[in-house]
Structure 1
Amino acid sequence: MTYSIIGSGSVGKALASQFARHDITVGIANRRGPGSLVAIAQELGNSVAPMTLAQALEADVIVLAVPFESHRDVAKAAATWHDKVVIDATNAYGVPLSDLDNLPSSAFVAKAMPGAKLVKAFNHLPAGVLAQEAGTAAGRRVIFTSSDDEGASATVAALLERLGYAPVSLGKIAEGGQLVQARDKSWAPLIFQDLFKPAN
């Protein structure tokens, strides 16, 4: 299984640091090219590899860590999204529902990536928290997921376990997934909730 992160802002870098912390190889890409990512890779270590966008899109599991509006540009850059697992870490706060065809934001993203198996995750915690250790004295930090594809959900849950998190499935995107998706200028009730699952 290969992994990539598209986006090198605060969220993308925070997630890259978690891969590096657990010695899981991950590519990272942005619109400026690999040269702009050398400093991040040097800071985080050999597990993080700067890539072109085209290279990052070849990964089996792709983390979408760009501003919500930029998902269209990423979508157009792939020749095909068939069978790709896409982790949507974006937030559509402030985007009018009419601009989303009145769909949940992740369902709207999925429409732009036909054939992709989309999983909502990582978007409910601020970047500063995502960069912290997943495991603490209080237990493992919870990451909520939602997806319309059970296989993709299982793939992402397994990755979250490897990263030290406690995955909690909310079910389908349009059902429980609404609990972590901003709507217009309202934050969903689980966004910013930093919850922990005690160790067994």
Structure 2
Amino acid sequence: MSYSIIGFGNIGHALAKAFARKGIEVSVATTRDPKSFASAAAAIGPTIIPKTLAEAIKADIIFLAVRFESHPEVAKALPTWQGKIIVDAMNTQAPPEELDGLPSSAVVAKAFTGAKLVKGFNHLVAAVLDQDPAVHGGRRVVFLASDNDVAAAEIGALAENLGFAPVKLGGLSEGGLLVQARGNSWAPLIFQDLFKKAS
């Protein structure tokens, strides 16, 4: 399984650090030339590989960590995203009426035609996501929502490998609404920093 992170801002950096802590290789890409962020990637660790967007989207599992308004541009990079899992780690300032009343993740799912979409890793602020998830004798929780059980299980297994405790919330229209921040309204689980004790 190959992994990439599209977007290398605060959330992209935090996700890259999670991969680096476990020595798992992940590509990072933006719309810029990879040389422009190669030193930042190298500073995180040798398993963080700067690539062009065209190279990074060849990965099996792709984390979207761009600004929400930039995701349609990324979606145009492939005519179909069939066979890929997209992890929507974005939040949006767009008011509900701009999203046709849909959960933001449903809007993203429509843009990435054919992909299996999982909403996840978005409910923690970057400074918290950036930290080692092994805390307080347990593991930091990440919430996952998806309309595809296979994709949710795949990302749940990856979250475990990265040291997190995944909690599945069901489909995008129910679970996705619990972990979205849009406009000035925050869903109940946004910014909830929870831990699962080791059993």
Q: TM-score, normalised by structure 2?
A: 0.97
Secondary structure of the residue aligned to 2:181 is coil
Say which is worse superposed, 20-29 or 41-50, in terms of deviation.
Answer: 41-50
Shift of the alpha carbon at 1:154? 0.5
The code of the aligned residue for 2:111 comes to A
Cα distance in 2 between the residues matched to 1:146 and 1:46: 31
Instruction: Give the alignment of 1:3-152 within 5 angstroms.
Output: 3-92=3-92, 94-152=93-151
* Aligned position for 1:163: 162
Shift of the alpha carbon at 1:160? 0.1
- What is the Cα-based RMSD across aligned positions, in Å? 0.9
Cα distance in 1 between the residues matched to 2:86 and 2:6: 10
Say which is worse superposed, 37-46 or 189-198, in terms of deviation.
Answer: 37-46
The code of the aligned residue for 2:112 comes to M
Cα distance in 2 between the residues matched to 1:2 and 1:34: 18
Cα distance in 1 between the residues matched to 2:78 and 2:16: 22
Cα distance in 2 between the residues matched to 1:167 and 1:37: 30
Shift of the alpha carbon at 1:109? 0.5
Shift of the alpha carbon at 1:180? 0.4
Secondary structure of the residue aligned to 1:69 is helix
Per-residue CA deviations over 1:35-87 (Å, capped at 9, x if unaligned) read 11211222012110000001110000000000100101100112320121000
Shift of the alpha carbon at 1:183? 3.7
Cα distance in 1 between the residues matched to 2:67 and 2:182: 15
Cα distance in 1 between the residues matched to 2:125 and 2:137: 19
Count of aligned pairs between the two proteins:
199
Q: Which runs of 5+ in 1 are unaligned?
A: none
User: CA contact under 8 A between 2:3 and 2:26: conserved in structure 1?
Assistant: yes
User: CA contact under 8 A between 2:91 and 2:182: conserved in structure 1?
Assistant: no
Cα distance in 1 between the residues matched to 2:14 and 2:79: 28
Shift of the alpha carbon at 1:184? 3.1
Cα distance in 2 between the residues matched to 1:36 and 1:78: 24
Cα distance in 2 between the residues matched to 1:49 and 1:120: 24
Cα distance in 1 between the residues matched to 2:150 and 2:161: 17
Say which is worse superposed, 171-180 or 62-71, in terms of deviation.
Answer: 171-180
Shift of the alpha carbon at 1:33? 1.8
Overall identity of the aligned pairs, in %: 57
